[in-house]
Every structure is written in structure tokens, then in C-alpha cells.
Amino acid sequence: AQSVTQLGSHVSVSEGALVLLRCNYSSSVPPYLFWYVQYPNQGLQLLLKYTTGATLVKGINGFEAEFKKSETSFHLTKPSAHMSDAAEYFCAVTLDLGSSNTGKLIFGQGTTLQVKP
């Protein structure tokens, strides 16, 4: 069964430091991959997604992620953290592709990013 693992339920960085949030998936075929951000008591907002093509994907708010098939990873990075980046981040995958597409996403358990001044 497909699954998503986010390494580290809490990550703390200083303002201006590199942000790295880790996501690994288990699948025998390359999935479609997503990163979402959630602010307190709000819904989720799409940061970026990988479907096909270039493995380095750029998203909103300066975030990017790289799909590495050999490592089954899709880590999220941002060169310089801002206080407004403090939120919870979710990695998600779907394997329901093509004619069997149900659109279902499977989510990781989330990583809370803390940004210290």
C-alpha cells in the first residue's frame, strides 16, 4: 500500500536560515506528489506539486521541492525562512492515475515549522 512519511513532526529554524522539510513515499510506481501548508484553524493551501516533467518544482512563497525517484523522496526547501512561514506542512501523494483516477490523496502526518526571530 502506498504511504507517505514525513520525518520530524516539529522543525525549528531561525529566521533567515534554510528550511528543509522531509517527505518520503512508498510506491512501486512514481506517484504524483504535493506539498500543502496549513495555518492555525484554516484549510490547506497548495504550495506546489509534481506530476511529470522537471523534477525540481517551484511553488509559492519561495518554496521548492525536488522529486528523487531513486530515494523515493520529495523534500521541501526554502533558502531563507521568514516568520510568516511558521505553519504546519503536509506532504501528499496520489497513485490513482489515468483511467482509474479517483483523485484521492494520501497525506503524511504533518510537520510543524517553527521560525525563531
Partner 1 sequence: DGGITQSPKYLFRKEGQNVTLSCEQNLNHDAMYWYRQDPGQGLRLIYYSQIVNDFQKGDIAEGYSVSREKKESFPLTVTSAQKNPTAFYLCASSIRDSYGYTFGSGTRLTVV
Of positions 12, 26, 80, 109, contacts partner 1 by CB under 8 A: 109
In the complex with partner 1, the residue whose CB is nearer, 33 or 115, is 33
In the complex with partner 1, the residue whose CB is nearer, 14 or 101, is 101
- 3-state SS of the chain is CCEEEEECCEEEEECCCCEEEEEEEECCCCCEEEEEEECCCCCEEEEEEECCCCCEEECHHHCEEEEEHHHCEEEEEECCCCHHHCEEEEEEEECCCHHHCCCCCEECCCEEEEEEC
Q: Does 53 bind partner 1 (CB under 8 A)?
A: no
Of positions 85, 90, 113, 115, contacts partner 1 by CB under 8 A: 90
Q: How far is the CB of 68 from partner 1 (least distance, A)?
A: 20
Nearest to 36 by CA among 108, 115, 102, 94: 108
Of positions 53, 69, 102, 117, contacts partner 1 by CB under 8 A: 102
Q: Does 89 bind partner 1 (CB under 8 A)?
A: no
Interface contacts to partner 1, rule CB under 8 A: 9, 32, 34, 36, 41-46, 49, 51, 90, 94, 101-105, 107-110
